[in-house]
A = this chain, B = another copy of it.
């Protein structure tokens, strides 16, 4: 924390701020400048809200300096985390040299639909299958997912095709079930700061895929992951899926600069969801390639064999044959950035 004093702050006022800082059990370091004085603070345990210094006379503002996250930080662990996901047909790694592909429909609609799509996806060599049994929908009148029966359908996909399952939990109850049936527990963007759910996910023994909230800063995103790690679960994959801005030409604004930004601050792997990130089918291919070129560790892509009949997000789903093409081009981009495909 750094306290910036006004240009005309008196020596008395500087002293008073220092005294207050020391009253918190911290150490004050005044730095007199040519125009104004700033006061550095060290020893901050994070437990005290010293921002209240801002209301003392002579103070302009308080600037936080230390980043509040610990376990997710590269400061604590320099080498990249490689998350290992055991699946029926072996093991999938995320965050190593290989790019991971996760594909499947937005929602589990029926066994027939899921099996048809899974069969085609399995053929492309992809090893993680996604599909929602619990769907957070803006409207209470929209399809809310099949619930546990949906999870059972996904378990059949797992068994028949050897694919690992990635599916979303929306509350503690559904997380209990998802943990049972799936290989990766997805926490959606709208729940990124559902701290009760994050803590529960931190106590799960499965990998967690954490989506960035619609208006989450990098710090908030990493702090949400910190909640999971702080409960003992270190197998966390971050996922950029677009943020909300004024721009109206895409459903969300896919923020690919967060990929190198995460890599600089944290050791956790990060994948990109270009389907939600763009919201339109014709943008999924170009932005998938862009994500991998930007350094993402993988992609989450919505694939539907009949997108026009999808119960949700049909507009952003691509066909299995389009996905095959996408996977092929991603493989080539991966090679340029010295990566392979899972």
Interface residues of A (CB under 8 A from B): 2, 4, 6-8, 20, 29, 31-36, 38, 40, 42-43, 46-47, 49, 51-52, 54-55, 60, 63, 65-70, 73-76, 78, 136-144, 170-174, 190-191, 193-197, 199, 214-215, 217-220, 223, 226-227, 230-231, 243-250, 253-261, 264, 277-278, 280-283, 286-287, 289-295, 307-308, 310-315, 329, 332-333, 336-337
Q: A68-B139, A264-B282, A336-B289 are in contact. Are A315 and B49 (CB under 8 A)?
A: yes
A286 touches B282 (CB 8 A): no
Which residues of B sit under 8 angstroms from A255, Cβ to Cβ? 245, 247, 253-254
In the complex, the answer to whether B139 meets A226 with C-beta atoms within 8 Å is yes
Q: Which residue of B4, B67, B136, B311 is within 8 Å of A65 (Cβ)?
A: B4
CB-defined contacts of A194 to chain B, threshold 8 Å: 170-171, 190-191, 194
Chain B residues with Cβ below 8 Å from A336 are 289, 329, 332-333, 336
Q: Could you tell me if A7 and B75 are in contact, using CB atoms closer than 8 angstroms?
A: yes
In the bound complex, do residue A2 and residue B46 qualify as a contact, i.e. CB atoms below 8 Å apart? no
| B residues less than 8 Å from A172 (CB atoms) | 171-173
Inter-chain contact B247/A217, CB cutoff 8 Å: yes
Contact B337–A193 (Cβ < 8 Å): no
What would 18 A/B residue contacts be, using CB atoms closer than 8 Å? A6-B75, A7-B75, A33-B42, A49-B310, A52-B315, A55-B308, A138-B219, A140-B231, A173-B196, A243-B245, A243-B253, A250-B261, A253-B257, A254-B256, A257-B283, A260-B286, A290-B290, A333-B336
State in angstroms the CA–CA spacing of A34 and B65 once bound together: 13
B230, A311: Cβ atoms closer than 8 Å: no
Cβ-neighbour of A287 out of B8, B248, B294, B313 (below 8 A): B294
A31 touches B35 (CB 8 A): no
Q: Which residue of B lies closest to A7 (CB)?
A: B75
A286:B295 contact, CB within 8 angstroms = yes
A171 to chain B, nearest CB (A): 4
| A52 / chain B contacts, CB cutoff of 8 Å | 307-308, 310, 314-315
Q: Which of B31, B69, B171 is within 8 Å of A171, CB to CB? A: B171
Which residues from B are CB-within-8-Å of A217?
246-249
Find the B residue at minimum CB distance from A315: B51
Asked whether A31 lies within 8 Å of B36 as measured between CB atoms, the reply is no
Q: Which residues of B contact A144 (CB under 8 A)?
A: 195
Contact A244 B215 (CB under 8 A): yes
A173 to chain B, nearest CB (A): 8
Given A171-B171, A256-B256, residue A291 in contact with residue B289 (CB < 8 A): no
| Contact status B295-A293, CB under 8 Å | no
In the complex, the answer to whether B171 meets A197 with C-beta atoms within 8 Å is yes
Query: How close is A59's CB to chain B, nearest CB, in angstroms?
Result: 11
B138 touches A290 (CB 8 A): no
How far is it, in angstroms, between the C-alpha of A172 and the C-alpha of B145 when the chains are bound?
A: 19
Which 4 pairs, one residue from A and one from B, show the smallest C-beta to C-beta distance?
A215-B215, A7-B75, A171-B196, A33-B42
Shortest C-beta distance, A324 to chain B (Å), equals 16
Q: Is the CB of A249 within 8 A of B196?
A: no
- Taking A171-B197, A214-B215 as contacts, is the C-beta distance between A49 and B226 under 8 angstroms? no
Asked if B218 and A247 make an inter-chain contact with CB atoms under 8 angstroms apart, the answer reads yes
B-side contacts of A220, CB under 8 Å: 138
